[in-house]
């Protein structure tokens, strides 16, 4: 009796296409939104390290000067945090899972030489600008200090001259004050 319960489904299956596929002969169709693996548009990366800091597996590393970004794909759990956090939106989750392998190791992506050269030039320009600004600040500070010193010196000389003038006036008035009283009795 129990077999009759499944008979309708069994009959129906005879006329339906198989639910399995002929993988790997026929490539697997990944469903929309599936988490496969992380890919990077390396030339857009600014090397901020946000993805490195947010990765729960510590599988990423970045070198801003060398323009490299590395991932150990066997450590990645495809959580997608790095994709969410990247400020330049240069990371994305691509379809297709990590190919199995016998050894762990990281894959390194390097920026194109043109982008690296442009970034190096920008760094040098920024450094030159910062050095020029620093020099200008130092010179302005020196000039201000010299002006203040000159003003102080001028103020001191003026006060000395004033003091000397006062002393001269006192000396000029002294004869009247010092006159002896006339002798009395004549
Ligand atoms: S997907 Fe998750 S585990 Fe993989 S690199 Fe990004 S943050 Fe790390
Ligand atoms: S978060 Fe994005 S821009 Fe920053 S280092 Fe990672 S990949 Fe590059």
In this predicted model, what pLDDT tens digit does every residue of 32-71 receive, in sequence order? 888 899 999 999 999 999 999 999 999 999 999 999 999 9
Q: What is residue 186's predicted lDDT score, i.e. its pLDDT?
A: 34
Task: Give 41 Cα–ligand 2 centroid separation in angstroms.
Answer: 10
* Ligand that lies nearest to the alpha carbon of residue 36, given by its number in the listed order: 1
Q: What is the pLDDT of residues 145-173, one digit of tens each?
A: 999 999 999 887 777 777 777 666 556 55
**pTM exceeds 0.95, yes or no:** no
Buried b (16+ CB within 10 A) or exposed e, 129-142: eeeeeeeeeeeeee
Of the chain, the percentage scoring pLDDT greater than 70 comes to 88
CA atoms within 13 Å, Cβ hemisphere of 81:
15
Per-residue confidence (pLDDT) for residue 169, from 0 to 100 = 58
Q: Is the pLDDT of residue 183 over 80?
A: no
Residues 79 and 92 in one domain: yes
Same domain, residue pair 43 and 84? yes
Is residue 105 predicted with pLDDT exceeding 70?
yes
Together in a domain, 129 and 76:
no
**Which structural domain range is residue 116 located in?**
112-155
SS (H, E, C) 126-153: HHHHHHHHHHHHHHHHHHHHHHHHHHHH
Same structural domain for residues 106 and 116? no
**Residue whose token pair is 């009247």:** 176
Instruction: Quote the strand ranges of the chain, DSSP E.
Output: 37-40, 60-63, 68-72, 91-94, 106-110
149 lies in some domain:
yes
Same domain, 135 and 92: no
Q: Which atom of ligand 2 is nearest to 49's Cα?
A: 5
- For residue 60, which of 106, 122, 19, 104 has the smallest C-alpha distance? 106
């Amino acid at each position: 009796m129990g077999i009759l319960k499944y008979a309708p489904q069994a009959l129906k299956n005879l006329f339906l296409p198989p639910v399995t596929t002929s993988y790997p002969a026929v490539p697997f169709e990944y469903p929309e939104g599936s988490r496969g693996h992380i890919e990077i548009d390396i030339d857009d990366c600014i090397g901020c390290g946000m993805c490195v800091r947010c990765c729960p597996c510590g599988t990423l590393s970045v070198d801003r000067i060398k323009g490299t970004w590395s991932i150990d794909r066997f450590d990645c759990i495809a959580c997608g945090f790095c994709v969410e956090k990247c400020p330049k939106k240069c990371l994305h989750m691509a379809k297709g899972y990590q190919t199995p392998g016998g050894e762990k190791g990281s894959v390194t992506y390097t920026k194109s030489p043109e982008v690296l050269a442009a970034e190096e030039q920008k760094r040098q320009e920024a450094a030159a600008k910062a050095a020029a600004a620093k020099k200008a600040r130092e010179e302005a500070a020196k000039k201000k200090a010299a002006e203040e010193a000159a003003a102080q010196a001028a103020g001191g000389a003026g006060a000395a001259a004033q003091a000397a003038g006062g002393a001269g006036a006192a000396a000029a008035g002294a004869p009247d004050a010092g006159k002896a009283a006339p002798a009395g009795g004549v």
